[in-house]
Amino acid sequence: NGLSDSDRGQLRTSIVTAARQLAMPSAADVSNIKMDESKRILAMKIAVLLADLATREFPQRWQTFVRDLLAPVSSGGIWCEPGADAGANTIGVKICLECLKLITEDCTDSDFNAKISTVRRNDILLGFNEVTRQILPPLFELLSKQYGDLNNAKNTLTQMNQYLASSGRTTAQMSPEEKSQYQTQLDKRDAAGTLLADVLGTIEKFCQSMPLDWMFKVENGVDFVAALLHLLQEDVAKVQVLSVACLKQLAIRKLDQDQWYRVISSLPSALFEASQASAKRANERGIDPNCIEMLVEQLEYHRSLSRMGSMLVMCHLAHITADKDVSSGKGPKFEAVSRYLRLLSEMMSHQSGVICGEQINMWVGLLRDPAIVRTNVLSPHLSRVLNAYMTHVVKIRWDDVWDQNHIYASLIEASWDDDDEYHDWLGNLRSKASQLFRAIGSTEPEIAATA
């Protein structure tokens, strides 16, 4: 803080120049898919310096900060060139993404309140809001490009596997040239997936703290909500889990009615497409889409999806209770809510109890709301809900899990670390489930009697 304006300018120029030099691909980097680990570490350190400097200078003394970051290297910035492939060519992108994420955290996270004054935080956020058109289009373009590259690499790998199968060979029987080509596609897939994950990490912070229009406004083909819903299909680099994390941050915000209905109306079809993509991957591997192996692999995704889905309802009960369509039991909004609740109730047929455990508070809350109970929006789903919880309140014998005698032993082991964690979870579920059973018994006695 004791630096003169001249010294500040020199420091700023030095750090930006260092970032640009690192971001500028050398002749050897142009075709290098894998990012050098030492460069990646240096990029993260430079990002910290840039973020620290920006929180002190932007926007008053560093009005060109966003342009200095997000302009391509050839135009004096740190961002990658249009159409650049992931890897050594996009190390500048990692600097920018990490820098934006750190600044957003510093300005919005309560843990950092003592680090930056309220006035400075507000100045920075207002400054960001003034230049959203410089921030969001490059991020969306990068998201689209890397997703396309990821799918191209995966399709090429599928074609290679089909060619090998047609000649009665496996990947272990490839020629040296074929192995090299196969590995190149694997590297391209992983590099694009990793960069997608980095972009989603920054977008999650925007979903958490920045104005909702950043994600919900559709302009010039930029539509982040649609992109997040589409990325639920992608399992490479945990992209689908990270997409759910972004949607979860939106779910716990105060969405207006149009924003909320857009999400709950779009999720069922998006998840159907994601399910189809998962089934396709299983078929390519020659396994059943519903086998234990697939359930274990997708457990984190399914659990986070169930949690996010229930939060989307719990945080916006007023949109259900105050809507005339829902109250009357007809109309497009009633259909949207009913379809969404059906989706959540069908999730609960999952063989792992942690999936329905994520929804218990939501169903209890819905059944305790007199305005919602008076409608018929819940009735069609309560049989599935009741059956799911009655199934999972039955205690699992942990000896059967240890001895691998339980049919879902591997899934149970993936769901809980040990029997102590399972028993704690079961006690909590039984306590809440008893409230749920009483509520169903008092509101829908016929459904309760058939259980």
Residue with tokens 């200078």: 57
Q: How many CA atoms lie within 13 A of 6 on its CB side?
A: 0
Of the candidate ranges 115-129, 159-173, 218-232, 387-401, the one whose mean pLDDT is the lowest: 115-129
Rounded Cα–Cα distance for residues 403 and 421 (Å): 18
pLDDT score, position 110: 64
Rounded Cα–Cα distance for residues 108 and 94 (Å): 21
In angstroms, the Cα distances linking 35 to 16, 107, 173, 191, 235 are: 20, 30, 29, 8, 21
Backbone angles phi, psi at 79, to 5 degrees: -70, 160
Query: What's the pLDDT tens digit per position in 197-227?
Result: 999 999 999 999 999 999 999 999 999 999 9
> What mean pLDDT do residues 414-440 have?
97
Query: What's the pLDDT tens digit per position in 360-381?
Result: 999 999 999 999 999 999 999 9
C-alpha gyration radius of the chain: 25
Q: How many CA atoms lie within 13 A of 369 on its CB side?
A: 22
Query: What's the pLDDT tens digit per position in 146-182?
Result: 999 999 999 999 999 999 999 999 999 999 999 999 9
* pTM, entire model: 0.96
pLDDT interval class at 396 (50, 70, 90):
very high
pLDDT interval class at 258 (50, 70, 90):
very high
Rounded Cα–Cα distance for residues 397 and 20 (Å): 59
